[in-house]
Structure 1
Amino acid sequence: MLDQFLWVIFPYLAIATFVIGHIFRYRYDQFSWTAKSSEFIEQKQLKWGSLLFHLGVIPVFFGHVVGLLVPAAWLSAIGVDDHLYHLGAVYVGSIFGIMTLVGMFLLTYRRLSKPSVLKLSSASDITVNLLLLFIVFIGCYATLVTNTTTPDFDYRATISVWIRGLLMLRPEAALMETVPLTFKLHVLAGFAIFMMWPFTRLVHVWSVPLNYGTRSYILYRKHSTR
């Protein structure tokens, strides 16, 4: 029953909350759809933390998409064998993962150590920062340490197959039985952040200013008192 809850019920509950929560907040609470920037309070740590986090998390995200959603046979068919995939996933992925971890650490340290920033932070802001830091840390640990100490484990034959079955409404909780604890924690924490997403500042991810580069300039003219 615990496996069914962790690997079937909880993921579907998180996905449903993610979708329905976004729809509800967009329709009834658009005025709070903001990143609540605290740049005017402190800029240096925010600059480097945000830069490292965003430059790292985007490649990490697409790496997860490929690793989890694209079957190994498909990659092999286009010439990406297991050795080449391993080099990209472990070595290149680790570089961007560590970059994301350092950025997230700076952002979390800034939020908790700067009294003015902490005062403006809500409980959800702090929770999101700590949970994201944990997700990135345990992900890096699983990639760099667990993969080395358990060479027989292949997440593409377990976690990837499980997640694809989950999305196709054919979940198999048994696939997660042999998965190492660090990977399990990474997966569960990931679904937890998806569940919290619609009710936190993370919604600002969907408000990408795509028209920023093409919009008209705002003109400021000096007012004459004469």
Structure 2
Amino acid sequence: MMMDALGDVLWAFLPYITIAVFILGHVYKYATDQYGWSSKSSEILDRRWLGVGSQLFHWGLLIVFLGHIIGLLVPPSITLAMGITDEEYHRIAIILGGASGLAAYVGVWILLLRRSLINRVRATSDASDFLVLALLVVVMSLGLYNTLYYDIFIHPFDYRTTIGAWVMSVLTLHANPNYMTNVPISFQLHIVSTYALFLVWPFTRLVHMWSYPIFYLKRAWILYRGQETSEVVANA
């Protein structure tokens, strides 16, 4: 009985609480602190670590995000109709998802170490900056474990007809916890840690994603020149 109640909380109530906080939190943030609607760039303090870490993290995460959209929202019947068997889909998901996930994972660790070890960057950081990076590390660690270890060395898990079906039930406002009954604990922890990330999202620097056009990743540098010296400092 207690497990049923916990399942209802985790898979029928928390999703909607998380969605409500995510949406209303962004509305509140925009209404009360539009100046905080930015990434608070620290590139002028250090750009070598940021250049590598940011590129790996953002491009890797973009591919991972698109993979999640396809995996969770596109029914298996559609990919089968396209001539992609379940085995082929699973192989592509592991190779592409694993590679992009590793890139994003290396990137987020570089960003975390940069913020922790470089004094000038650490001095301009607050607790929410470290919280976000720590949560990202947890979410990505579990995701990579599921993709590169559980699916390969333990047993391939059909998340499309379980987690994917649960996500669709949540989005259609008929959340069905039964889909999550036999989902491995590592996959469940991945989802719960994602809840935590989405709950703090509106109150951290992650809000800059909504004003972060994709061409930013390849735009030209902005050059800042000192008035008394000819030194050029590159800053994005």
TM-score clears 0.5: yes
Give the structure-1-normalised TM-score. 0.89
Instruction: State how 1:30-109 maps to structure 2 within 5 Å.
Output: 30-109=34-113
- Report the 3-state secondary structure (helix = DSSP H, G, I; strand = E; otherwise coil) of the residue aligned with 1:155: coil
- Alignment match, 1:138: 142
CA distance in 2, matches of 1:61, 1:8: 23
Aligned counterpart for 1:162 among listed residues 160, 166, 169:
166
* Identical counterparts, % of pairs: 42
Residue 82 and residue 29 in structure 1: after superposition, are their counterparts in 2 closer, same or farther (change >3 A)?
same
Distance 1:210 1:100, change over 3 A: closer
Q: 1:71 to 1:211 in 2, by over 3 A?
A: closer
Normalising by structure 2, we get a TM-score of 0.86
Whichever residue aligns with residue 119 of structure 1, its letter is A
Is 2:149 the counterpart of 1:111? Answer: no
Aligned letter for 1:21?
G
Q: Distance in 1 between matches of 2:117 and 2:188?
A: 30
CA distance in structure 1 between the aligned counterparts of 2:85 and 2:138, rounded to whole angstroms = 31
Distance 2:14 2:198 in 1: 11
Q: Deviations 1:115-135 (Å, cap 9, x if unpaired)?
A: 221221111111001101111
Give, as a single letter, the amino acid of the residue that structure 1 aligns with 2:195.
F
How big is the alpha-carbon RMSD for the aligned residues of Structure 1 and Structure 2?
1.7
The count of residues paired between Structure 1 and Structure 2 equals 213
Deviation (angstroms), 1:27: 1.8
- Are the aligned partners of 2:150 and 2:156 in contact in 1 as well (CA < 8 Å)? no
5+ unaligned residues in a row in structure 2: which ranges? 217-221, 223-236
- In the aligned structure 1, how far is the partner of 2:92 from the partner of 2:147? 12
The one-letter amino acid of 1:99's match is A
- In structure 1, which of residues 150, 153, 165 is the aligned counterpart of residue 157 of structure 2? 153
Q: CA deviation at 1:23?
A: 1.3
Change over 3 Å in CA distance of 1:69–1:46 after alignment to 2? same
**Structure 1 unaligned runs (5+)?**
213-217, 219-226
> C-alpha distance in 2, partners of 1:210/1:128?
21
| Aligned mate of 1:6, from 6, 10, 29 | 10
Q: Would the alpha carbon gap of residues 206 and 86 (structure 1) be closer, same or farther in structure 2, given more than 3 Å must change?
A: same
Q: Tell whether 2:36 aligns with 1:16.
A: no
